[in-house]
Structures are given as structure tokens and as C-alpha cells.
Amino acid sequence: MPTVALPDGTLIPVFQIVGNQWRGISTDVPRDAVNPVPPDWLAAWEVFVMDRTNVLQLTDFRRVDTAAFPPFYSSRDERVYFMASADPLGSNPSHDCQMFSMEPVTRAVRQVTFFHEGGDHTAACIGGQRPNGCTCNFALGADSPQNPATGSIYFMSQCDPLGLNPNGHQVFAIQPDGTGVQQVTNARGLVRSADGTVQFEVVEGFWAYAPPR
């Protein structure tokens, strides 16, 4: 097979099958981000997959808020799902926090959600606040927020794709191709009474999805 080694790179002619046990991860990389948020968020974060000792870097967005919440690999779809405010396809010019998926080997990327909550957002996936952006994330500590039978992916968001979440956090479900968006919870969000009393009811903090068994 004809091969070309990158500058300062070396081709190691040891071939093996990978991808049987992919696991999606995210971590910072040694480069400054294009959208730093001082003082704590300065380095770029990227999405990787691991298969035992094999590691592949999937994204090169150079943004601080890529996969701020851990991504996950779907063995059902053979794709990695993650949140990012990047615009790799030209369909997220306002840099809202969106769900993307990527096939690990070909790096074919797909934008799953299409939230539009205002102007350009510096780091929407860590600090977006409506009406100036909105955050969305997967459950912390969950192995996979996807129903293996139906393919539905569950995530929490401040966004309001259905006009039912004007001021709060809710859990949503979506299909891998971006169709079938459903709002699963119905927390009241921030409610101001006529007498000035403020009530706040949101889905927040630790939550998880358990697939049917």
C-alpha cells in the first residue's frame, strides 16, 4: 500500500483491527483556544476515541467548550456523539451549543440539533444563558444516554426547540438523524408571581438515563 508519513511522523507497519470497544472521551490539548473564557477556560478541548491502547483524535475545533460534558460512543450507530459550539459544516454560524455525531475512522461529521438562540456565543456549551444562547449536555456518569432499541438519545438543555421551555432546563429526546425531538420533562422553570414572589423549578444537577432491560 502506498503510504505518506506526515512531517516528523513515522509509519509503523503493524496492522490490527480497531473499533470493537470504542469509548468516547474528551480532554484538553496543548494549544490555546480560539474562544477563551478567562481565567479558567483557556485551552482547547477535543473529542477522542479509545480502544484499549489505540487513541484517535476526532475533532480539531480548537474551542474551549467542545464536549464539556463527556461524549459517548454508540455501538448501535457506530458513531460518537458530543456537544460543541463549533461550525464544521457551515450550519451553526451563531456558535450555539449543538449535538454532533462523528464516525471514528472516516471522521464523517453530522450536526444533529439545530438550535438558534440569538447572536454569536463565545462558549455556549459552558456558559450560554438564554436568550443569549443555551447549553445542552448529556448526563454525568451515564454510560450511554441512548435507548438501544429505539435509538432515542436523551439530553438536558436550556434550549426551546418546541416553544415549551421559555425559561428553564428540561430533558429532551432526539433521534440520531435529528428528527423526532421530544421534550420529556415539564419543569416550570423560573416563575414570577404578581406579588413579586419567585419560584424556580428545573431539571438540574445529577440526572441519568437507564435503558429498558
Q: Which residues, in sequence order, are bridge partners of residue 27?
A: 46
> 189's torsion region: left (phi>0), alpha (psi -120 to 50) or beta?
left
The one-character DSSP state at 125 is H
pLDDT of residue 52: 80
- Give per-residue pLDDT as tens, 81-124: 999 999 999 999 989 999 999 999 899 999 999 998 766 777 88
Q: Give the domain ranges of the chain.
A: 23-201
d(CA 69, CA 208): 13
Chain-wide mean pLDDT for the chain? 86
Taking every pair of Cα atoms in the chain, the longest distance, rounded to a whole number of angstroms, is 76
Beta strands of 38-164 (E only): which ranges?
41-51, 54-57, 72-74, 79-84, 98-102, 109-111, 136-137, 153-157
d(CA 187, CA 165): 8
pLDDT in tens, 165-194: 888 889 999 999 999 999 999 888 777 788
SS3 81: strand
DSSP state of 127: H
Cell (9 digits) for 124: 455556549
- Rounded to two decimals, the pTM is 0.86
